[in-house]
A and B are shown apart, each in its own frame.
Chain A
Amino acid sequence: MRKPAPSATREGPKIRAAALALTAAAALCSAAAFASSHREAPFITGNPKVDGTDLYLFRSYESGRQGFVTVLANYMPFQDPQGGPNYFMFDPNALYEIHIDNNGDAVEDLTLQFRFDNNSKDAALSVGGKQTKIPLVVSGQVDSVNAATLNVRETYSIDLVRGDRRTGTRAAVTRGSGSGTRFDKPVDNIGEKTFPDGYQAYAAQHVHSVTLPGCSTPARVFVGQRKESFYIAVGKTFDLFNLNPLGPETGGNNNDLEAKNVSTIAVELPIACITAGNEPVIGAFTTASVRQARLVDGAPGSGLGKASKEGGPWAQVSRLGMPLVNEVVIGLPDKDRFNASKPKGDGQFIDYVTHPALPALIESLFPSAKAPTNFPRTDLVTAFLKGIAGVNQPSNVVASEMLRLNTSTAVTAPGAQNAMGVAGGDMAGFPNGRRPGDDVVDISLRVAMGALCVLTGENDALKVGCKPSDAPSGGLALTDGVRKTAASYGTAFPYLTTPIPGNFNPAPPAGTMP
């Protein structure tokens, strides 16, 4: 399994020649562009704790860490910071997974499984001679891991499965310093008074060095609340594109997720331990599963986790690879099906790619913005299901939807990153993996409307099966008017920033009663 770590400066010989084709891979995002995957399917809206919202996959750009890949798996969308008293713990009855396909066959080769445990300490106060249990998750200020003042200790375990996620070989991920297999998660950012040393310092104590079975290089793990990293004018977008799609890319509209938090599972993995043979490209996707059977207890006992009993096999209810697929590619009746599906079965959704609804919707709303006319949309199929040849396409790829990263592509330093990714000449950006600052919304909008057909030229240099005349609007600088850069995020693991504190008390929106 082990390979020498790739050079930080090595690049595929055909990458530059195929640079323009990145938009083809972005084609997946073309359909997938809008709110990544927040409450995107009917069933998952009722199960927010297992709602995967975003997946980031990139070669680490923290100084000295270029031999590693960072994977950020976000769950639980639209978190208001004030959401106490329980805040946003992970579900102890769920299975959260990060899957890696390192040979392009559409089947996971490695899976990291996260299981959570939320243990109440039954903190009580002596009140008039009686011990009365407190109603809060903390009984005082918190400044350390598993502080005595924490009323609920949140911990998790990690298993690494090689092969099929259910039938493969499973082994525990252990602490780097010993044999422990449980890791503490920091309590969410309740507020500034709760954390006298600041939440950032408190949360940083929960970055764990870990040993992956079969890997001699330590990895790193952090699980905890972060500030929501996705950016988009989501309300205006879903309001029948109630915005100027040709307006300013930056500052044109407000980011509707700016005042939200999210829950993140962050891992940093040695490239040598997750790639196979001479194949530098990995595909990744995240899932969440719940037990197939649940009985709700009509008379639950005292304590956490008593309201229901779960049993049966794991049933997958959330799936996320490239951003925004289930959001705006998959039709409404099939969104729950997609969330339960596996990449190897993606042929069942092919019509959504070859005959996408989004461009037609845009044209219906903006008649002058003509949708591409090349059907089937081979430009979207090529990049959406395979990656771009010479950029992030595995040698023996089997068509399937997942986020693909070429681990041999040189890292772009944060200050030099282009939010338009490969389309902006930044080969380390989306769709070659995905970094927090990459503007997947704008990239996806443009590819949906045929940017790839324009880029490939009359001779179809990129071999995507279309030409400029197929996409009259393919050259438009479509945007939702919201743009961030790498400067909005951290430059070290786990890259996503400190969550907004719960004592955040914003003024009410204009026109509402105070």
Chain B
Amino acid sequence: MNKPNIRVALAACATALILAGCGGGGGGGSGGGGGGDDRAASDVPDSALRSVQGLVDFMEDVIASMTRNGSEPLALGDVTLPTSETLEPL
């Protein structure tokens, strides 16, 4: 997975994330810009926005590969994360 300029922000819900290890699908940042002026730029890949499973896979990848001191947070831009009212936690 190629994330040359990815900045990492870890979520607070680690215990709710049932992680089976790095799933596929997540990652591949958009190369997000570092400037705060462009609110639309996001490091969250499309794969994480298309489905709840894709989101969880992305989160697993973030936690597994990007948890380190010195990282900068991911740019979130104006993305809307997918949700589900019916699925049990993945």
* Contact of B86 with A166 in the complex, beta carbons under 8 Å: yes
B86 CB contact (under 8 Å) in A167, A293, A297, A310: A167
CB closest chain-A residue, reference B37: A299
* Contact of B15 with A43 in the complex, beta carbons under 8 Å: yes
Contacting A at CB under 8 A, from B34-77, are 36, 39, 44, 52, 55-56, 59, 72-76
Q: How many A-B residue pairs have CB under 8 A?
A: 95
User: Which B residues are in CB contact (< 8 Å) with A299?
Assistant: 36, 73, 75
Most chain B C-beta atoms within 10 Å of own C-beta, residue among A292, A298, A310, A336: A292
Q: Is the interface of A mostly helix, strand, loop or mixed?
A: strand
* Contact of A313 with B11 in the complex, beta carbons under 8 Å: no
* Contact of B88 with A312 in the complex, beta carbons under 8 Å: no
User: Which A residues are in CB contact (< 8 Å) with B89?
Assistant: 292, 312-315
* Contact of A298 with B73 in the complex, beta carbons under 8 Å: yes
* Contact of B13 with A313 in the complex, beta carbons under 8 Å: no
Contacting A at CB under 8 A, from B3-38, are 7, 9-13, 15-17, 36
Expressed in whole angstroms, the minimum distance between the Cβ of A436 and any Cβ of chain B is 32
User: Which B residues are in CB contact (< 8 Å) with A272?
Assistant: none
Expressed in whole angstroms, the minimum distance between the Cβ of B52 and any Cβ of chain A is 5
> How many chain B residues have a CB neighbour from A under 8 Å?
33
User: Which A residues are in CB contact (< 8 Å) with B80?
Assistant: 309
Q: C-beta contact mask, A293-304 vs B, less than 8 Å → 1, else 0?
A: 111111101000
B9 CB contact (under 8 Å) in A43, A170, A292, A298: A298
A296 CB contact (under 8 Å) in B9, B17, B87: B9
User: Which B residues are in CB contact (< 8 Å) with A317?
Assistant: 15-16
User: Which A residues are in CB contact (< 8 Å) with B55?
Assistant: 293, 311-312
Roughly how many angstroms separate A449 CA and B44 CA in the complex, as a whole number?
A: 55
A64 at the interface (CB under 8 A from B): no
Contacting B at CB under 8 A, from A36-69, are 43, 46
**Could you list 14 A-B pairs, sorted by A, with CB under 8 Å?**
A290-B16, A292-B16, A293-B55, A295-B44, A295-B76, A296-B73, A297-B9, A308-B11, A309-B79, A309-B81, A311-B52, A312-B52, A313-B84, A317-B16
